[in-house]
Structure 1
């Protein structure tokens, strides 16, 4: 995980060529995201360079590409319009510090809580977001600040170039893998436009990418409470959005490469990258799914691929802007169309009827929210909440009991299933205090007390039997249950069986636990 360059010469070549391919694809994306955030195009390019370089060196996932992203651009647009770019740079630095804290506290592991249906919805939604974004390139400025769809020969040329690009990416690997098919497609498409003198839009029509080395610049923001109240909410949202997208991208790259990344280290890497970016006039960012897939498909595996992509991008900005600006937009659109095809989980379309309906609904819901809101973090959070509610609802129905009379003639309830907030209603309905014997035993051998709601349910059950003039005993508590009861202290007061004769061990469960008595 800590080596930058692979020991195999062929891998070094693949990493360098895939890095060049990624750098070419990064240019229009970074420019478009900067414009979306109401910033100068170079602000997006600077972010793509600094974040990509530092995250590749410090981060926890070799082969993953980071840079300026649409998810961050959507969040910061309002901040830039309202308070200016200096506040943005301050927010980016604070965003990075928050992400570093997340990594130090080892909170990256919580990405494991994202269920697979949510992950599928995330991937499918992201693919559709990338697809929809490409259609903006089919528009040209019209009168009164409007945009019109291209038509006629311009449309035909663009479609032909897209088809040629996609065909090269798809079929070239069948003949040779000496050069990444995506890089070959970009070169061939560009040469066709130049050689045939075709009239089609190029990168230069978006914006000039020529610039200087990212200048060191501390944000010119007052160190005041008022400034903090402006910056901090944006920083929190940016940090969460960036980490969620980065960690889900890490999982995706893990699947593609059949290797394992380090989520906590990636949190720190993203944090360091954004903190530095804020000092070098960058707009902030995170891992990029599309570019990461291009890198992996082009043969990039080590940290060198991400590092070389950033260095190539810097070379473009400083010395080769004129060469990059001649690349046709249609060719890059074709590249992104192939990314969409490779990103979308087509197998998920066949899951209806093969998986629980609730899981399929979650996939569709996360996909729809991602597309509708263009907010990946929101979609994932909603998906996790829906999954948790479905899980709670399904397990709430699993609480049940088998009853019998023991050798002393007392009624015994053998509980099965977890007792937690969603199952307490069904738990209470199991018992019939008026019809039961004077002594009733609740056996938790096949159950678990999971939360405070479960403790309250036991307390209420004890009250019901007390009002009926009967005594309730519990036994076979797990270690986890005893720990919860011990922590509850005086909150729960029930009798716990210590031996088969049902001697009352204590009036207070916590007192009995503290006295060292053995709970069955």
Structure 2
């Protein structure tokens, strides 16, 4: 029932279009602009994934509309992306193109469930070096995946993009590579120079048109996209029998995790660079989940939020969901009206577009910032990037988080400590038999043993005061260690006083037995001065007791307890 109520709260409402009467003209212009930019990317990502150009175009149309209507961002533009291509390619290569619809629906259901369970904010737990390393790794894979098409060869047999690229280059002949390589160079030249003429020129579309016309006029021997459907296919629910579910469960979980991460990161970045209001992370997951499910029904790919197209939307003046909807409708018009010219686009031209896109995914400023931050963050960045390229995207994120957590834990341990302090104020006789220890930072499982060893090793004292007012973090292990410290010192005849237990730690310390381990309930203090005064009274009684034991009958006139200091 709670999940159902949560789902109703995440549905679209009239407030999504409150600004539309004021912004609709700008939204329409932005939508057309984004559609022009998205067309070559949708085709290229579809081809690169192995699903085909038609699948990329269908995804941009179907998922673009669904995510725009149901998503949690007013300006997010969704569709096929480079990160999804990287993880989807091996799935299609292993399970065949027939698995595309099933894995899209399965991944979409997982993302949808994550939204209903309100797991959207978990993406904020990703460390920045992990995100940057992940992005660089994806960019490298996308670039390497284009090598075969760029040189007119077939892909290598390896599932690793770097190895496959080397294998493809090993089979390249100069004669077959000349034409596609020339088209790639032409596309790169146009995409690099066009923005310098005017930043709003749709460089990728112009590059595709020029390359396609050149290949057609010169009759270059290059592979082309081929026939495309002239309408959207009818929706079909894929077969999800137990065998299919078992075989695709792992890939679907990986795709879902990637879709959630990329979409939420894109929405968060978009919210930070625009004035269109915050985004709803849980609703964004709901929208992206529905988009992938719908895309799978029509034979498309899993969809995610696309930061590049979203940024174009923002720069072009998009302010409401109408812009993203318009972008999808423009691509739908291409499906019905322009499949003939699109089918003649050379694959080498699409490879050139993706090579430039991959290069632009890497921000030199961000690289300098993360590498120049701390040695730990630099290690996390490089580990994540290398594992992304060498092994698996989700494993890279998991290992990157693990490495970042290790360094964070080490830093927390180093910031935690126990320090012996001098007694404030004038020195009294016997103060040398009082030790004050201040616990700082965090006392938890990773730092507890060091504190135990330091305090328990104290010698030649009668009273130990443990100050806890500066202790920020305490777990059960840390509380247990305090109990062990008290017990160990008391067994040696050393009285332990505890000062400054914070209210938030009191319940844990009580449950673990710290208060019960004290010799007397009066050994708990809120201020240091009374604790020191109490400690001095113990030291005085202890000194008297030692003198009695040493001199015997000579001190009979002033008897003192011989069983050690007490508060009774």
Which protein has the larger Cα radius of gyration, Structure 1 or Structure 2?
2
Gaps of 5+ in 1: 504-520
1:323 counterpart = 2:341: yes
1:418 counterpart = 2:442: yes
Whether contact under 8 Å (1:129, 1:374) holds in the other structure is no
**CA–CA separation in structure 1 for the residues paired with 2:272 and 2:136:** 15
**CA–CA separation in structure 1 for the residues paired with 2:339 and 2:399:** 42
Match of 2:220 among 199, 205, 227: 199
**CA–CA separation in structure 2 for the residues paired with 1:162 and 1:416:** 57
Match of 1:453 among 477, 488, 502: 477
Whether contact under 8 Å (1:63, 1:305) holds in the other structure is yes
Whether contact under 8 Å (1:31, 1:207) holds in the other structure is no
Paired residue for 1:468?
492
Whether contact under 8 Å (1:449, 1:455) holds in the other structure is no
Paired residue for 1:215?
234
Paired residue for 1:2?
16
1:306 counterpart = 2:319: no
How has the CA–CA distance of structure 1 residues 461 and 30 changed in structure 2, closer, same or farther, with 3 Å as cutoff?
A: same
Deviation at 1:366, TM superposition (A): 2.0
1:117 counterpart = 2:133: no
How has the CA–CA distance of structure 1 residues 74 and 6 changed in structure 2, closer, same or farther, with 3 Å as cutoff?
A: farther
Deviation at 1:350, TM superposition (A): 3.5
1:269 counterpart = 2:287: yes
Q: Deviations over 1:13-68 (max 9, x none)?
A: 132122232123211212321x1xxx565444433332222112211234433234
1:281 counterpart = 2:299: yes
Please show how residues 375-386 of structure 1 align to structure 2 within 5 Å. Answer: 375=393, 377-386=394-403
1:170 counterpart = 2:196: yes
How has the CA–CA distance of structure 1 residues 241 and 6 changed in structure 2, closer, same or farther, with 3 Å as cutoff?
A: farther
Please show how residues 70-219 of structure 1 align to structure 2 within 5 Å. Answer: 71-72=83-84, 75=87, 89-141=101-153, 148=172, 150-173=176-199, 177=200, 180-194=202-216, 196-197=217-218, 199=220, 201=222, 205-219=224-238
Deviation at 1:107, TM superposition (A): 1.9
TM-score of the two chains, using structure 1 as the length reference? 0.80
How has the CA–CA distance of structure 1 residues 302 and 207 changed in structure 2, closer, same or farther, with 3 Å as cutoff?
A: farther
Deviation at 1:301, TM superposition (A): 5.5
Paired residue for 1:513?
none
SS at match of 1:249: helix
SS at match of 1:327: coil
SS at match of 1:413: strand
| Higher mean displacement: 241-250 or 205-214 | 205-214
**CA–CA separation in structure 2 for the residues paired with 1:193 and 1:297:** 33
Paired residue for 1:29?
45
TM-score of the two chains, using structure 2 as the length reference? 0.74
1:244 counterpart = 2:261: yes
Q: Deviations over 1:391-433 (max 9, x none)?
A: 1112211213133448895432122221122222322232145
Deviation at 1:341, TM superposition (A): 4.2
| Higher mean displacement: 385-394 or 353-362 | 353-362
1:371 counterpart = 2:389: yes
Aligned-residue RMSD, C-alpha: 3.7
How has the CA–CA distance of structure 1 residues 463 and 46 changed in structure 2, closer, same or farther, with 3 Å as cutoff?
A: farther
Whether contact under 8 Å (1:22, 1:295) holds in the other structure is no
Whether contact under 8 Å (1:22, 1:294) holds in the other structure is no
Deviation at 1:184, TM superposition (A): 4.2
Match of 2:466 among 431, 436, 442: 442
Whether contact under 8 Å (2:39, 2:57) holds in the other structure is no
Gaps of 5+ in 2: 1-14, 158-167, 536-568
Whether contact under 8 Å (1:448, 1:478) holds in the other structure is no
Deviation at 1:321, TM superposition (A): 1.0
